[in-house]
Amino acid sequence: MTEYIVHHLHHLRWPREDGFWTLNIDTLFFTFVLSALFCLLFIGTARRAKVENPGKLQSFIEMVVVFVDGLVKETFHGTSKLIAPLAVTIFGLVFLFNFLDMLPVDMLPAAGHAAGLKYLRIVPTADLSTTLGMALCVFLLIQYFGLKHKGPKVFFGEMVSAPFHAHGLGAKIALAPANLLLRLIEEAVRPVSLSLRLFGNMYAGELIFILIAVMTLDATLSHFSTYLLGFGQFIAGFLWTAFHILVITLQAFIFMMLSVVYLSMAAERH
């Protein structure tokens, strides 16, 4: 049982098993495939869009885009042509990454093993390197938006003048170290919270699916308890799958909304 769990939580790595420069090939592969699928889906639908009698796929994508655009308009009070497309992209990609967790835990790993792959993990967001990379991209965009909307003088001035405001040059200089420290902590917490929240939920969901799978691991058909465990496994798998659909959608929504909120805060003058 322990070997089964460890095997399903191990990445296909290159060039060696451990080390700082080791690449998780399976994470990179599924990230690239789903990103390409997202682009093909949205670009293809946009190019084939019809005003009259739109198809079901076009109607669904338009509904998602309109919903996200409305949230962005309510949250982001500045002017930017990047925020709404960025929010749609974040939500779509994170949802697709998360949705791979809905596939049976042994389906793609078994296919990979048949193809000669020793390990294969299929959920990119259950890999901390993916969620942290996405969060760092949002972090860099936050700094860019702050500089663009406020200018270097105001942007760097806020680092030493907030949250403790003071009147007089001497008081401002005295409070500058504390303000700078708190600002650095605030900026560092954002990518950490974004990445760990998404990673923790997806890793836990993947682990629960694996634990449900081991309920009948190495079971024999001749024993009565196998059928009881099989029935319990079916019920547990069904309930967790139904609940996990809400989890993967909610996590994509939270990652998107927090990104928009952070960008909105960066563009506003305090």
Averaged pLDDT score across all residues of the chain: 88
List alpha helices for the chain, DSSP H: 2-8, 25-47, 56-75, 83-99, 107-114, 128-161, 169-213, 224-267
**Quick check: 127 and 11 in contact, CB under 8 A?**
yes
Structure tokens at 192: 């950490």
Q: What is the reported pLDDT for 222?
A: 61
Q: What is the reported pLDDT for 87?
A: 94
* pLDDT-based confidence at residue 75 (cuts at 50, 70, 90): confident
* pLDDT-based confidence at residue 116 (cuts at 50, 70, 90): confident
Q: Which of 256, 253, 262 is nearest to 144 (CA)?
A: 262
The yes-or-no verdict on residue 232 having pLDDT over 90 is no
**Quick check: 134 and 191 in contact, CB under 8 A?**
no
Q: Which residue ranges make up each domain of the chain?
A: 2-267
The pLDDT tens digits of the residues spanning 140-192 come to 999 998 898 888 888 888 888 877 777 777 788 888 888 899 989 999 999 99
Residue 98 catalytic? no
* pLDDT-based confidence at residue 229 (cuts at 50, 70, 90): confident
Q: What is the reported pLDDT for 221?
A: 61
- Average pLDDT estimate for 110-124: 90
- Average pLDDT estimate for 101-107: 90
Angle between helices 128-161 and 169-213 (to 10 degrees): 170
Query: Which run of H or of E encompasses 24?
Result: strand 23-24
The pLDDT tens digits of the residues spanning 237-257 come to 999 999 999 999 999 999 999
- Active-site residue (options: 35, 80, 129, 197): 197
Q: What is the reported pLDDT for 81?
A: 84
**Quick check: 243 and 122 in contact, CB under 8 A?**
no
Range in 67-76, 102-111, 125-134, 215-224 with the lowest mean pLDDT: 215-224
Residue 193 catalytic? yes
Structure tokens at 199: 């990673």
Q: What is the reported pLDDT for 219?
A: 63
- Active-site residue (options: 195, 201, 259, 264): 201
Rounded to whole angstroms, the Cα distance separating 48 from 236 reads 42
What's the half-sphere exposure (Cβ side, CA atoms, 13 Å) at 42? 17
Query: Which residues lie below 8 Å from residue 221, measured CB to CB, with a gap of 6+?
Result: none
The percentage of the chain sitting over the pLDDT mark of 70, rounded to a whole number, equals 94
Angle between helices 169-213 and 224-267 (to 10 degrees): 160
